[in-house]
């Protein structure tokens, strides 16, 4: 009889190796406390990206079947309308993200802890208020950035082939400008951090959500006014009269016209409605000649400025976000509990 012997394997007890948890300490606590909101936001972002990719493939299949880009979109007529209309609900959803997250994520983030006494419990632990606040804001900002940047990139990818088609989306509108590039994430971060600050000051969740809604709407209104102010206005003038066919200046494709004027020989600008009340064409021509009108002066923004305007606007929004964040940390040192 023989006996089998071997070298024992050390350190292998057959039990599965323990894994280090992905989140620990305060980070785990914050995730655990807000995981429902975080997972909802991330899930909505994933669904929005999936729907956008589906719509883009559907649109390109249709356009390819009709010989696009050799045959322009304008030749398709009503056949393309369902594909153009598909942009609107997605852009509307993207446009609502700053308001929704500002009210339902930003406002209750700290207001709930202050209202229910959770903040006092946290302050009684070894973790500092600054670290607790930094973790709350940092993890929330990370979730928001991921869930807004991904749909924004997907939407821009969908719209890119038709970017020059103003009939699909006007690039200066919120539906296009605010939903592509860096603006979506910057606008959402500012609204959410503003909601957090409102919650910290009011210390009541419901009141904070109501005020945060008003704040988010005000931000949207102010942003709508600021959007076009971010560009450098281009002016084109002509001196071939204003009544002849083809006298109006030709603008670049997808250019956004801001205003148009009559230009006189002395360089003065007159409103385009000058002499419009004259009863006959001859009387109007005489009126314009007496006013010394020699051509048009048109102000516009070319689409080539879009990316620069978006980054400038995003920089302004991120600077405001940083200022509100600094206020939150200063407030936290004395009055967060």
Sequence spans of domains, the chain: 25-231+305-336, 234-303
Residues 6+ away with beta carbon under 8 Å from 174 = 91, 95, 220, 223, 224, 227
* DSSP of 106-158: IHHHHHHHHHHTHHHHHHTSSS-HHHHHHHHHHHHHHHHHHHHHHHHHHHHHH
Q: What angle do CA 157, 162, 165 make, to 5 degrees?
A: 145
The reported pLDDT for the residue numbered 2 is 40
At residue 19, the pLDDT reads 64
Helix ranges, the chain (H): 25-65, 81-85, 87-101, 107-116, 118-123, 129-159, 174-177, 183-202, 205-226, 281-290, 306-335
Closest alpha carbon to 333 in 123, 154, 146: 123
For residue 15, name the pLDDT band (cuts at 50, 70, 90): low
**Rounded CA gap, 318 and 280, in Å?**
56
| pLDDT tens per residue across span 191-208 | 999 999 999 999 999 999
pLDDT at residue 18 tops 90: no
Phi, psi of 276 (to 5 degrees): -70, -20
**pLDDT at residue 158 above 90?**
yes
DSSP character at residue 244: S
How confident is residue 7, by pLDDT bands cut at 50, 70 and 90?
very low
Q: Is residue 226 pLDDT above 50, yes or no?
A: yes
Is residue 38 over pLDDT 50? yes
Q: How far apart are CA 19 and CA 21, in angstroms?
A: 6
The whole-number pLDDT of residue 148 equals 95
pLDDT at 277: 83
Determine the average pLDDT of the residues in 276-292.
88
Q: Report DSSP state, residue 337.
A: -
* CB-based contact 105:147 (threshold 8 Å): no
Residue 303 per-residue DSSP state = G
CB atoms within 10 A of CB 60: 14
pTM: 0.84
5 versus 98: which is more confidently predicted?
Answer: 98
100-124 per-position pLDDT tens digit: 999 999 999 999 888 888 877 777 7
Say what the pLDDT of residue 5 is: 41
Calculate mean pLDDT across residues 56-64. Answer: 91
pLDDT the model gives residue 115: 87
What is the average pLDDT across 36-62?
A: 94
Average pLDDT over residues 223-249: 91
- Mean pLDDT in the chain? 88
User: In terms of residues, how long is the chain?
Assistant: 337
Q: Which of 27-36, 58-67, 73-82 has the lowest mean pLDDT?
A: 73-82
pLDDT at position 20: 62
What's the confidence (pLDDT) of residue 4?
40
Q: What are the pLDDT digits (tens) for 295-313?
A: 999 999 999 999 999 999 9
Q: Is 70 exceeded by the pLDDT of residue 16?
A: no
The rounded Cα 55 to chain-centroid distance in angstroms is 20
What is the per-residue pLDDT for 243?
Answer: 84
**What percent of the chain shows pLDDT beyond 90?**
61
């Amino acid at each position: 009889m023989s006996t089998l012997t071997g070298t024992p394997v050390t350190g292998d007890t057959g039990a599965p190796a323990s894994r280090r948890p992905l989140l620990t300490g305060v980070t785990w606590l914050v995730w655990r406390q807000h995981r429902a909101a975080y997972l909802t936001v991330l899930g909505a972002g994933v669904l929005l990206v999936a729907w956008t990719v589906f719509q883009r493939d559907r649109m390109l299949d249709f356009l390819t079947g009709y010989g696009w880009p050799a045959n322009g979109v304008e030749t398709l007529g009503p056949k393309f309308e369902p594909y153009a209309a598909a942009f609107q609900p997605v852009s509307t959803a993207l446009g609502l993200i700053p308001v929704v997250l500002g009210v339902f994520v930003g406002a209750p983030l700290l207001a709930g802890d202050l209202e229910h006494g959770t903040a006092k419990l946290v302050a009684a632990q070894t973790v500092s208020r600054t670290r607790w606040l930094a973790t709350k804001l940092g993890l929330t900002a990370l979730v928001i950035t991921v869930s807004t940047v991904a749909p924004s990139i997907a939407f821009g990818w969908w719209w890119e082939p038709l970017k020059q088609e103003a009939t699909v989306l006007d690039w200066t509108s919120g539906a296009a400008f605010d939903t592509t590039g860096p603006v979506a994430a910057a606008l959402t971060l500012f609204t959410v951090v503003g909601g957090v600050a409102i919650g910290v000051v009011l210390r009541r969740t419901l009141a904070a959500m109501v005020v945060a809604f008003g704040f988010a709407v005000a931000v949207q209104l102010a942003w709508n006014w600021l959007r076009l102010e971010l560009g450098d206005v281009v002016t084109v003038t002509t001196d071939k009269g204003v009544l002849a066919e083809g006298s109006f200046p030709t603008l670049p494709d997808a250019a956004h016209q801001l205003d148009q004027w009559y230009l006189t020989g002395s360089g003065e600008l007159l409103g385009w409605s000058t002499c419009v009340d004259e009863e006959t064409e001859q009387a109007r021509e005489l009126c314009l000649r007496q006013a010394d009108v020699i051509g048009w002066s048109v102000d516009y923004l070319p689409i080539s400025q879009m990316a620069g305007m978006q980054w400038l606007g995003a920089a302004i929004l991120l600077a405001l976000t940083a200022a509100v964040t600094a206020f939150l940390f200063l407030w936290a040192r004395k009055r967060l509990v």
